[in-house]
Amino acid sequence: MVRKRKGKSVRKNKQVGAQENEDEVSKAPHSFVVHRGKTGKYVQELCKDFRKVMEPYTASSVKMRPSNVIKDFVQIAGVLKVSHFIIFTKTSLGPYMKLARFPRGPTLTFKIKEYTLGRDVRSSLKRQITYEKQYIHHPLLVLNNFPSGEKEYDLCTSMFQNMFPSINVNKVKLNDLRRCVLLNYDKDTGLIEFRHYTIKVVPVGVNRGVKKIINSKIPNLSKLEDVADMITGGGGVSDSEFEDDENSKVVLPQEMSVRGAMPAHQSSVRLVELGPRMSMELIKIEDGLLDGEVMYHKFIQKSEAEVAEMRKVREKRKREKEARRREQDKNVRRKEEDKRRNKEKSLLGMGKEVPQFTGREKRAIEEWQGETAAGGGGDSGGGGDEDYSDDDAEWYRREVGEEPEQELFANSARSSSRGRGDTKMMKRFSKSRGQGFDRSKSGDRGDSRGRGGRRG
């Protein structure tokens, strides 16, 4: 089928390519790589090296505090579209790596038998290959010699495959394949070897002198009589080309940004190690996210009765947890309802109508009115002077056993009414200052004072 060629406007539109890149980024698996507990500086550096392996679809600067729990990462994983969680820990037996899938598992636990940091691997090389665009694209995953038919290793390979984005062979660009992750299973030792390489493409059949010119290196011509001697005197090919395996020589189907590597011409593919190195052993597989039923354990084997008993205990804990959560939610709703009812009663007691708001305004205004009602709800009670004197008289009758004299509590009633009147006047004065002066009322007062003056 003939593919339809894109129009000129579509080719020049940058938003079309940006939209495709956004879709690829959203569909790609993302990860968190952290360390927990007291791991030491070397395990922490190993964690940083593994984070570089997972670039660019990982949180490069994530930091885990001692107060953080797994629930914190689960809550933000859905927003950031994070699918995998890699944790490095350390015990008295050695370092461990846990690979979990958000949000419900499973979780694979590997014991790290041996490891070498990335800086140590690169320092052992004669020629290091590091450049800026090396970690822009995700690495190519290669799984080798994993046993088929065993459930634990089938799950293990599936987890490793889902950690990295899938590659469409028809659409992939060779310039995007800059790195390679190799996972090899050793049947004799039962260990999984982890290696991280950068991919280097070298043209085949090029003279050593020509290769220097291609690599933009200025050759030393002081010992030569003619420029042609640099090309003809080198033999045929470079010395390093004899080390290449025939299987590493391929014909490039696309153009690459490598000097001398031409499409439809033979080139040699080489791997240069970046690090880190790890030798891991699969120890345990759990059903949930860092918790749940143990599906596989290398050293502990339980009978069916023990598994059934553990399942019952786990289900009982789960039911109790759900019951506590329902009870807590019920208590929270009841307290909120009581709080709302008390606020309405306070506002009705103050002689105010309960405002009808919705959303954020309703919550803010109800909280403010509740505080106001709680602070000054007793100022608007009617007939306070009579109640105050009646209470004193009743107390006197109950304690003394006689009727009080009429003038005994008259002074206390008058003093209390005077104090309360002063308080009301102060509130009225502050209210008038805040709202402004009412001219209609002031005019009435002025007329009455004028009429009173004329009468006098």
Question: At residue 149, does pLDDT exceed 80?
Answer: yes
d(CA 209, CA 366): 84
Question: What's residue 399's pLDDT?
Answer: 76
- Beta-bridge partners for 268: 202, 249
d(CA 181, CA 19): 28
Please give the DSSP secondary-structure letter assigned to residue 102: T
89 in Cβ contact with 36 (< 8 Å): yes
Of the pLDDT bands very low, low, confident and very high (cuts 50, 70, 90), residue 140 is: very high
Query: In this predicted model, what pLDDT tens digit does every residue of 230-273 receive, in sequence order?
Result: 666 654 444 444 456 677 788 888 877 777 677 777 888 889 99
Please give the DSSP secondary-structure letter assigned to residue 354: P
Sort strands 249-251 and 266-273 into parallel, antiparallel or unpaired: antiparallel
Question: What's residue 355's pLDDT?
Answer: 58
d(CA 270, CA 204): 12
Sort strands 82-91 and 94-101 into parallel, antiparallel or unpaired: antiparallel
Which among 36, 102, 94, 143 has a CA at the least distance from the CA of 283? 94
Which among 203, 199, 167 has a CA at the least distance from the CA of 274? 199
Question: What's residue 203's pLDDT?
Answer: 80
Of the pLDDT bands very low, low, confident and very high (cuts 50, 70, 90), residue 443 is: very low
Question: At residue 455, does pLDDT exceed 50?
Answer: no
Higher pLDDT among residues 356 and 348, named by residue: 348
Burial 126-161, CB ≥16 within 10 A → b, else e: eeeeeeeebbebbbbbeeeebeeeeeebebbeebbe
Span of 244-248, 284-288, 309-313 with lowest mean pLDDT: 244-248
Question: Which two tokens mark 134?
Answer: 């090396």
> Residue 437: CB partners within 8 Å, gap ≥ 6?
none
Question: Global pTM?
Answer: 0.64
Report CA 353 to chain centroid distance, whole Å.
Answer: 46
Question: What's residue 213's pLDDT?
Answer: 60
Question: What's residue 453's pLDDT?
Answer: 45
d(CA 254, CA 237): 24
d(CA 81, CA 165): 14
Which among 131, 215, 214 has a CA at the least distance from the CA of 178? 131
